[in-house]
């Protein structure tokens, strides 16, 4: 018999046996799906702190130990040896590709990089100073109006084509968002370049002057994209899953994930970190901002610090911190004052009782913005960069969910705390 967990009502002594599910690694989960039917009870867990919303075989995190693995492979090994498209193949298909599989995958992705010519016109309809994330949400959502040929979500081949299209077109859309904001012509992709090199070309080439991406920039971007590619059931991935659970098309689902990612508590943090560092301005102001972050009456938080799951260190931040040194010295920017300020702020916070007690450590986004800044990516594009990488995780989770025979529409319940029943009062009698 499967292991069970018994819940007891302390008032009535009534008990209920709940089935325990074992994963391959990590904590077990108590199945409560029958709780309402059998006992009329709901589980209450705001923020889903102790709730496993699904089974997944894609990414494993142990927040206490600072472990992150994609399909079983430690993030440190992937960061040291792999590149973004190889990791994309791994996340989507479950295995690292063989040489021929990787060549084929790269070829498929590079041949889906163009967007429809009429879609290029969309960008001109946005206000000149629109935030690129707002443009991206709209344009990615609109992809479904172009690809009716692959919208049968129950057909595995259709799901695969949609995944390829999304991964391939995100850099093209992202670069077009940027080009619109600087009133430059939108560049076509170049399929002889690799994924990151092609993105840099579309960002910085103009029709009158090619941009030749350098190796440091390409390597840095590959690393950042690998680190951002997936992170199990975070807010945006859960949004994609919930949107997809109703049978919505993949482009609409990924657009909803981009919207969720934009928030400063999630992917918007990398932009917020740079804005914060600019506001702090100088090491002499650090104490003032640390005090603000600790003040419960002040909404200010130290951006790039803290994580729902990591309570010891964020393994991505450890990797990225090292990369920061390398990129800044290779790009002859090793006196970057922003980096100096970030290091000092980190040191002060890590030695402060408030941050120690609450186990608040720098997360991946504390340093990613500094690297993007060194690569000349504008601050309002940082979260867009995150979205390009996370698209791989989103489509992997979306496909996994749709292929799951147990999949049902996601429909959380609530603990109702509003008014009890009352009678309608006509407007002339209301006080
Ligand atoms: N600065 C100051 N205090 C903080 C911070 C911070 N960055 N983060 C958490 N706290 C405090 C919080 O006020 C609370 O204190 P108390 O127990 O006295 O009420 C305690 O630490 C626990 O915080 P919480 O808000 O309950 O934690 P959470 O798990 O709900 O939130 C978080 C996690 C990442 C949203 C939060 O730490 C935060 O807002 N950090 C800044 C934004 C950020 O860097 N986000 C990027 C996350 S990593 C990239 C990604 O995956 O998207």
What pLDDT is recorded for position 209? Answer: 95
Distance 415 CA to ligand 1 centre (A): 25
Q: What is the pLDDT of residues 126-185, one digit of tens each?
A: 998 999 999 999 999 999 999 988 899 999 999 999 999 999 999 999 999 999 999 999
What is the mean predicted confidence (pLDDT) over 14-38?
93
* Secondary structure class of 5 (helix, strand, coil): strand
Distance 164 CA to ligand 1 centre (A): 34
Q: What is the pTM of this model?
A: 0.93
CA distance 198 to 212: 10
CA distance 147 to 373: 35
What is the mean predicted confidence (pLDDT) over 215-222?
93
Q: Where are the alpha helices (DSSP H) in 40-155?
A: 75-81, 84-93, 99-110, 117-122, 132-142
Q: What is the pLDDT of residues 272-329, one digit of tens each?
A: 999 999 999 999 999 999 999 999 999 999 999 999 999 888 999 999 988 887 887 7
Q: DSSP character for 282?
A: S
Tell me which residue has its CA closest to atom 39 in ligand 1.
Answer: 265
Give the ligand 1 atom nearest the CA of 309: 29
Tell me which residue has its CA closest to atom 2 in ligand 1.
Answer: 301
Give the ligand 1 atom nearest the CA of 308: 29
Give the ligand 1 atom nearest the CA of 366: 44
On whether the CB atoms of residues 170 and 387 are closer than 8 A, the answer is yes
Q: What is the pLDDT of residues 95-106, one digit of tens each?
A: 999 999 999 999
Distance 302 CA to ligand 1 centre (A): 8
Tell me which residue has its CA closest to atom 44 in ligand 1.
Answer: 304
Q: Provide the pLDDT confidence category of residue 335 given band limits of 50, 70 and 90.
A: low
Is pLDDT larger for residue 378 or for residue 2?
378
Distance 278 CA to ligand 1 centre (A): 20
**Which amino acids are annotated catalytic?**
307, 365
E strand or H helix that includes residue 257: helix 250-261
Q: What percent of the chain has pLDDT over 90?
A: 86
Mutate to test the pocket of ligand 1, among 45, 233, 258, 306 (most ligand atoms within 8 A of CB): 306
Residue 425 has pLDDT above 60, yes or no: yes
What pLDDT is recorded for position 1? Answer: 53
On whether the CB atoms of residues 264 and 272 are closer than 8 A, the answer is yes
Strands 15-21 and 4-8, sheet pairing: antiparallel
Distance 157 CA to ligand 1 centre (A): 40
CA distance 34 to 18: 8
Tell me which residue has its CA closest to atom 19 in ligand 1.
Answer: 296
Mean pLDDT of the chain: 94
Question: Ligand 1 pocket by C-beta < 6 Å: which residues?
Answer: 47, 231, 234, 265-267, 269, 293, 301-308, 358, 360, 363-365
């Amino acid at each position: 018999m499967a292991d069970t967990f018994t819940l007891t009502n302390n008032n009535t002594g009534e008990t209920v046996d709940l089935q325990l599910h074992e994963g391959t690694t990590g904590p077990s989960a108590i199945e409560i799906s029958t709780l309402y039917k059998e006992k009329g009870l709901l589980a209450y867990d705001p923020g889903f702190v102790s709730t496993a919303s699904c089974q997944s075989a894609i990414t494993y995190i142990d927040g206490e130990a600072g472990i992150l693995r994609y399909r079983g492979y430690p993030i440190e090994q992937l960061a040291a040896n792999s590149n973004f498209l190889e990791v994309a193949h791994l996340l989507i298909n479950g295995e690292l590709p063989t040489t021929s599989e990787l060549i084929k995958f790269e070829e498929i992705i590079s041949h889906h990089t163009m967007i429809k010519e009429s879609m290029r016109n969309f960008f001109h309809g946005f206000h000149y100073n629109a935030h690129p994330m707002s443009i991206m949400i709209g344009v990615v959502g609109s992809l479904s109006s172009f690809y009716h040929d692959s919208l049968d979500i129950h057909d595995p081949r259709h799901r695969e084509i949609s995944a390829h299209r999304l991964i391939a077109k995100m850099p093209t859309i992202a670069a077009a968002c940027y080009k619109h904001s600087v009133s430059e012509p939108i560049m076509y992709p170049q399929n002889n370049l690799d994924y990151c090199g092609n993105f840099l070309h579309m960002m910085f080439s103009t029709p009158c002057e090619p941009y030749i991406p350098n190796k440091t920039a390409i390597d840095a971007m590959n690393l950042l994209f690998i680190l951002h590619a997936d992170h199990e059931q975070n807010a945006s991935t859960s949004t994609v899953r919930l949107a997809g659970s109703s049978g919505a098309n993949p482009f609409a689902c990924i657009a909803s994930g981009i919207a969720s990612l934009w928030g400063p508590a999630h992917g918007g943090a990398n932009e917020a970190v740079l804005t914060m560092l600019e506001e702090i301005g100088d090491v002499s102001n650090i104490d003032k901002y640390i005090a603000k972050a600790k003040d419960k009456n002040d909404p200010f938080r130290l951006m790039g610090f803290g994580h729902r799951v990591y309570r010891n260190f964020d393994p991505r931040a450890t990797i990225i911190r090292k990369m920061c040194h390398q990129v800044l010295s290779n790009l002859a920017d090793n006196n970057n004052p922003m980096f100096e300020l970030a290091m000092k702020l980190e040191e002060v916070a890590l030695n402060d009782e408030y941050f120690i007690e609450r186990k608040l450590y720098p997360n991946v986004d504390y340093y990613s913005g500094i690297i993007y800044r060194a690569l000349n990516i504008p601050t309002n594009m940082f979260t867009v960069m995150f979205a390009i990488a996370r698209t791989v995780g989103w489509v992997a989770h979306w496909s996994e969910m749709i292929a799951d025979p147990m999949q049902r529409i996601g429909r959380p319940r609530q603990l109702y705390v509003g008014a009890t029943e009352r009678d309608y009062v006509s407007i002339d009698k209301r006080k």
